[in-house]
Structure 1
């Protein structure tokens, strides 16, 4: 019976083989996923570059007074018909920060022109219906303001609700989001109304407008558009009615808690109302 011979291994050769294995092993920071995209730490930082840049730029431009002043000093003004006018600071506008973040992210990810073109095409197609809806809401809001309808509505509501109006302010914002499908649209439509009603009642406008924004945000939970979209995402199409129950109960309770909150703002609301 032949005896197996154990071949002695050269230590130098073993060391070279181990070194080769280590070199061939993928580095965690440069790992590549099944779709060819990086999955390591460097790839994660590269993918998050737009968000990192956006947060950093917004913080610097808002919290550093010299930078903020320099950016706000560049203004574009416009006027129309001698009655309408406004100013626009392009370097300080959040949209400029978004464009800058997009450019930095594309550079860090080494995106090709074809990829950028495809991404912009998809974004513009998605943006078109949003722009149409927002422009329509802005037109309606400006029409209400310029026609004097806001003042008439504010006077009527102030006369009916009186001192209880601050408790109703969040629900107006919530109702606006429920009807329009957007907290932004709700704020566009009703912020001027809330401000005018507060002025009519002789109370501070800032807490009332804040309650409007709070209610508008809470209204996203019961907005039919959001419920339908969320249901479609998790394959619950056609079951929107079943999904509406719990969110509706919680969404109506949230503004109630905000209205009854014993905050300093609530006391400030009540003081001029009692003295009126």
Structure 2
């Protein structure tokens, strides 16, 4: 039963990394495998299998694909209005060293986008920007996959940890604090790892050690402080802003001048006025403002907007709940609104913006197929009991060593769904039940529960959905296998380190 439950995941791993099949071809086959296993082995009825698939399609379209299309449309619109030229010039004025810009855009700005919006924006926009300023597109995707790992636990204004609190009944502030503590070593490590990957060797760290340290420590210390005193909502947003400030400060106070990593000089050296700069950044400024204003931090706006929704019972089998379409207070709608307003300020006509949106959606057609079938596969596996079977087998096999694999369980959920929130929904209760089964105290139960969003950070790197987003952002269809092979090499040591942190750390909190 375990191998049958695992079969869709095994197929994706083999298809993407060994057979080099494009994701938009491999993922529909994974859905067929999941449906076959669910119906013929797990006694799922055909109507329930169809309903589970349709619920997956609904989730994929609203909000996930909406956010992805909106985010990439925002980027494409800044290209069309030439605003990206101004943004690139401003960023490259910090330094002409590609390593510095990879940290500033991939780590700092990417973390900010993950904290504000999530759902792929933190890979799509930074990877596209890095490719646009001259970084090798595949390399840009690689470093952004690394950068998007550790902020995932607090993505979309902390929704994974808020959800985990709802699922387990544990205080979200306690979960946010424990998750931040568990993430410290990897958060500090990530900037160093990004620079090493960007320069293809340890020699690339020459002159960059202080900046990497400041970027990692500034991020993790701020994240921990906000998590402890305010909760999960703004932990990554605050950490990323401090990280960007630290990178810029280091670049100005201790400039890096290495010709091996220098970007080509720009011909236009005319100064950028404040008005021009604000117009160029306007879509991103508006995204920040809209997401902040409609977040739970401002209930006067958040609560009324969240009442504008429609709930539909798509799957009526065991465990099925009405699926809710939130029409206005969802990141995709807000990003689209910010893009259209920002584009208008930048001088784009409504017709040209609609044309840009249409081209963006068409260019993402393979990504759309991939993400719809991945999410549908996840729903079928979940409702058929296949996902739970995978986790239960892991618990039975490990006993008191379970904390060592708790983060790995969390990573499986995100690998399947591409979402830390979905992973917490799938496995959050299982984590606390397993902790109780091995006799853990309440604080250790919270510690083990926090390992689920921790593991989700590793799973995000190898998620087919996230890799598909990265490929779409750099416009290089067919390199999914190469990116997965790279990400797995980072994922394995990450999961081992996470296992050690959770296992040995339980004695400190217990």
* TM-score (normalizing by structure 2): 0.37
SS at match of 2:323: strand
Question: What corresponds to 2:439 in structure 1?
Answer: none
Question: What corresponds to 1:92 in structure 2?
Answer: 329
Distance, in Å, in 1 between the alignment partners of 2:299 and 2:316 is 33
User: For 2:302, which of 68, 86, 105 is the aligned residue?
Assistant: 68
- Where do 1:143-182 residues align within 5 Å? 143-171=380-408
SS at match of 2:311: strand
8 Å CA contact 1:214–1:255 kept in 2: the answer is no
Give deviations 1:37-90, integer Å, cap 9, x for gaps.
x95332221111111011011112111121111111222111236444222321
Structure number with the bigger relative contact order (C-alpha 8 A, sep ≥ 6) is 2
Question: What corresponds to 1:260 in structure 2?
Answer: 500
* Most deviating of 113-122 and 188-197: 188-197
Distance, in Å, in 1 between the alignment partners of 2:457 and 2:412 is 12
Distance, in Å, in 1 between the alignment partners of 2:354 and 2:475 is 28
* Most deviating of 97-106 and 209-218: 209-218
* Most deviating of 187-196 and 223-232: 223-232
Could you tell me which runs of 5 or more consecutive residues in structure 2 were left unpaired when the two chains were aligned.
1-85, 87-265, 437-444
Distance, in Å, in 1 between the alignment partners of 2:366 and 2:473 is 19
Question: What corresponds to 1:274 in structure 2?
Answer: none
Q: CA deviation at 1:92?
A: 1.2
* TM-score (normalizing by structure 1): 0.63
Distance, in Å, in 2 between the alignment partners of 1:50 and 1:70 is 24
Aligned CA-pair RMSD? 4.3
Distance, in Å, in 1 between the alignment partners of 2:491 and 2:462 is 6
Question: What corresponds to 1:198 in structure 2?
Answer: 431
Question: What corresponds to 1:40 in structure 2?
Answer: 273
Could you tell me which runs of 5 or more consecutive residues in structure 1 were left unpaired when the two chains were aligned.
1-28, 272-276
Distance, in Å, in 2 between the alignment partners of 1:81 and 1:175 is 23
Distance, in Å, in 2 between the alignment partners of 1:265 and 1:66 is 40
SS at match of 2:294: helix
8 Å CA contact 1:137–1:188 kept in 2: the answer is no
Distance, in Å, in 2 between the alignment partners of 1:127 and 1:79 is 29
In the alignment, is residue 77 of structure 1 matched against residue 317 of structure 2? no
- Where do 1:243-258 residues align within 5 Å? 244=486, 251-258=491-498
- The structure where helix makes up a greater share of residues is 2
Distance, in Å, in 2 between the alignment partners of 1:230 and 1:75 is 30
With over 3 angstroms needed to count, the CA separation of the structure-2 counterparts of 1:124 and 1:249, relative to structure 1, is: closer
Count matched residues: 224
SS at match of 1:80: coil
SS at match of 1:107: helix
Greater C-alpha Rg: 1
Give deviations 1:191-220, integer Å, cap 9, x for gaps.
555335425413457413212222224558
8 Å CA contact 2:419–2:460 kept in 1: the answer is no
With over 3 angstroms needed to count, the CA separation of the structure-2 counterparts of 1:263 and 1:104, relative to structure 1, is: farther
8 Å CA contact 1:155–1:200 kept in 2: the answer is no
SS at match of 1:261: helix
Q: CA deviation at 1:158?
A: 0.7
8 Å CA contact 1:140–1:189 kept in 2: the answer is no
With over 3 angstroms needed to count, the CA separation of the structure-2 counterparts of 1:161 and 1:197, relative to structure 1, is: farther
Distance, in Å, in 2 between the alignment partners of 1:227 and 1:92 is 25
SS at match of 2:327: coil
Distance, in Å, in 2 between the alignment partners of 1:250 and 1:90 is 37
With over 3 angstroms needed to count, the CA separation of the structure-2 counterparts of 1:103 and 1:253, relative to structure 1, is: same
8 Å CA contact 1:173–1:186 kept in 2: the answer is no
SS at match of 1:76: strand
